[in-house]
Amino acid sequence: MEKKNLDWSNLGFGYIKTDKRFVANYKDGAWDDGVITDDDKVVISECAGVLQYAQTCFEGMKAYTTQDGHVVIFRPDMNAERMANSCRRLEMPVYPEDKFVDAVAKVVKENDAWVPPYGSGATLYIRPYMFGSNPVIGVKPADEYQFRVFVTPVGPYFKGGAKPLTIKVSDFDRAAPHGTGHIKAGLNYAMSLHAIVTAHEEGYAENMYLDPATRTKVEETGGANFLFITKDGKVVTPKSDSILPSITRRSLVYVAKEYLGLEVEEREVLFDEVKDFAECGLCGTAAVISPVGKIVNHGEEICLPSGMEKMGPTIQKLYDTLTGIQMGTIEAPEGWIYKVE
């Protein structure tokens, strides 16, 4: 299919309406077969469960054009599994994991003309989501749901190279102990908006959230997990029940161990330890891994030895290896790359 005439290298991270999307409906205890449609509009009751009590969850992943011209999706089965977990926690019906992967692949294939070409730096962002669609006024789960998947081409996260970020320790909490921090629910984002707007106004790129119970341990940012590198080259990543289990972070941990031969510790990370690390990065689908150069805690600055000019050497290696695997220039572990035929 002929590619759309877009300026691929100058795309931002925004929504562009593409041609096709997938829609399935849940009613009377069962999912229908779902359809591919041109219709980008959602029509639901004014009293829909999602609008009243925020019963909704989502996923995010990417499709790429590899060096040899295939369109591939990175680990969609992991997103299917995570969305199933989000649904269970929100009393929503699971969309079957194999059908989730099929729907995602179908939408990518139907929008082939929108998949950015190899080497452009751009990728096709995939957004599956589900919401309660029937009227709900007493507080309870909806009876009817809609599952949708759309795609939108997005630009390279790092225009002109990855400059290290300055972030702040937030005075707000992202997730409660025993709450919903570990699932990809829209409600976690709604309550983080004030914190991120505040951080931006103060000139910071992101928030570092601490554990809400003791405020002594590192959790994550609003949309990315932390990876730290110790001065002797170990990878350390926070472990907590209220962190969203990033697929990028779990992939980087595997890459660190199996491709780079690094030692990895997944454990509680005290904020007091942060000043001793050599490098720090934020990992998620959008950026893969973004370097952090400075962390500010109420005016007190922690400057990572990797500095404010470029990624530290270990984070650079992790970045190069994972993006190589995604783009098909480095051999991928079994099952990581889903080819869209």
- Provide the annotated active-site residues: 184
Of 65 and 246, nearer to ligand PLP (C-beta) is 246
Among 18, 207, 248, 321, binds ligand PLP (CB under 6 A): 248
Among 34, 116, 281, 284, binds ligand PLP (CB under 6 A): 284
Asked if 225 is part of the footprint of ligand PLP (rule: CB under 6 A), the reply reads: yes
Q: Sign of the C-alpha dihedral, residues 77, 126, 179, 200?
A: positive
Q: How far is the CB of 246 from ligand PLP (least distance, A)?
A: 3
Whether residue 105 contacts residue 112, with contact meaning beta carbons closer than 8 Å, is answered with no
Segment interacting with ligand PLP, rule: CB under 6 A, options 17-25, 27-35, 119-127, 278-286: 278-286
Strands 235-238, 35-37: pairing is unpaired
The token pair at 16 is: 């562009």
Of 1 and 193, nearer to ligand PLP (C-beta) is 193
Of 19 and 77, nearer to ligand PLP (C-beta) is 77
Of 24 and 287, nearer to ligand PLP (C-beta) is 287
Residues 55-94 touching ligand PLP, rule: CB under 6 A, are 60
Asked if 224 is part of the footprint of ligand PLP (rule: CB under 6 A), the reply reads: yes
Q: d(Cα 331, Cα 129) in Å, to the nearest integer?
A: 31
Asked if 210 is part of the footprint of ligand PLP (rule: CB under 6 A), the reply reads: no
Among 184, 228, 274, 304, binds ligand PLP (CB under 6 A): 184
Q: d(Cα 104, Cα 101) in Å, to the nearest integer?
A: 5
Segment interacting with ligand PLP, rule: CB under 6 A, options 126-134, 233-241, 279-287, 310-318: 279-287
Whether residue 57 contacts residue 189, with contact meaning beta carbons closer than 8 Å, is answered with no
Q: d(Cα 337, Cα 326) in Å, to the nearest integer?
A: 7
Among 56, 65, 240, 285, binds ligand PLP (CB under 6 A): 285
Residue 96 contacts by C-beta under 8 Å, 6 or more apart in sequence? 31
**How many angstroms separate the first and last alpha carbons of the chain?**
13
Q: How far is the CB of 221 from ligand PLP (least distance, A)?
A: 7
Report DSSP state, residue 259: I
Residue 337 contacts by C-beta under 8 Å, 6 or more apart in sequence? 72, 73, 74, 325, 326, 328
Residues that bind ligand PLP (CB under 6 A): 60, 184, 220, 223-225, 244, 246-249, 283-285
